[in-house]
Structures are given as structure tokens and as C-alpha cells.
Amino acid sequence: MTTATTPLFQWDDAYLIGIDELDYEHRGLIDNLNELHEELLRNVDRDRVDQTLGDIHARLTAHFALEERVMRDGKYAGYATHKREHDEFLDDYVDFLFLFENNPGLGYSVMIETYLKDWVVNHILTSDRKMSQMIRH
């Protein structure tokens, strides 16, 4: 049975930071988060959800690596602080994955997606945007 669902959040051009390759990846990341949201709502197989959570981790890791290269190439003064945000978030994400393994209930998964969404949106709108403005000017 399929159920019509509302996306976790819609792409908004307010998320654009003006560096094409990073904007493209941010959009893809948001697609992934919506995919997770739909799967949780549809109560799909746990294996499928685990795979999506793994895909999101891989995408985040690759995205942060690219973004950090852009920052180094742009000689961004805030590099160390920004990279620390990425590293700490990845650590938290891995902690969440371990916790989720032992707490497969819907309440916990909703907490994960809310946490992911809030971090990603906030990070794009603040740290990524600030970095882009500094590099491009």
C-alpha cells in the first residue's frame, strides 16, 4: 500500500549559496532526506531504511570533503571552524546510527530525521552561506 506523503521539506532557492557544485550537492542531500522521510512514513523494511541512512552518511562524507577542498582552494579563513562543524556532525550521525539500531521505533526515527533536517538547513543557511560570501568577494 502506498500512502501520499508530504515531503519533509521542500527545496527553496533561499538555500542556494552561489557555488554551483555545492548547491547541486545540497539539493541532492535534501532529496535523500526526503527519501528517508517517505520510507519512515511508509514503514518500509528496516534494511531499506538502514541502506538510506548509510547512503546519507556516504553523501555527507563526500559533500564535506568537496566543500572543504573548495574552502582550502579559496583560502577561507574560517576553514578550521567550519571543518570542525562537519566532523562533529558526522560523529553525532554515527552515534545516532548506533542508537537507532537499538531503538527502531518510529519515535526515534522521527527524532533522527528532525535532527538531520535541522542541522542541514541551519548549516547551509549560516556556515555554508557565510563561507561562500567570503570566498566569492
Q: Residue numbers of the site for Fe ion (CB under 5 A)?
A: 67, 128
Question: How long, in residues, is the chain?
Answer: 137
The residue among 61 and 103 lying less far from Fe ion, judged by its C-beta, is 61
Give least dist CB 27 to Fe ion, A: 11
Give least dist CB 60 to Fe ion, A: 9
Give least dist CB 68 to Fe ion, A: 8
The residue among 41 and 90 lying less far from Fe ion, judged by its C-beta, is 90
Report helix, strand or coil for 23. Answer: helix
C-alpha cell at 56: 546519507
Q: CB neighbours (10 Å) of residue 82?
A: 20
Give least dist CB 8 to Fe ion, A: 18
26, 124 contact by CB (below 8 A): yes
The residue among 27 and 48 lying less far from Fe ion, judged by its C-beta, is 27
Based on the number of CB atoms within 10 Å of its own CB, is 21 exposed (0-12), middle (13-18) or buried (19 or more)? exposed
The residue among 64 and 100 lying less far from Fe ion, judged by its C-beta, is 64
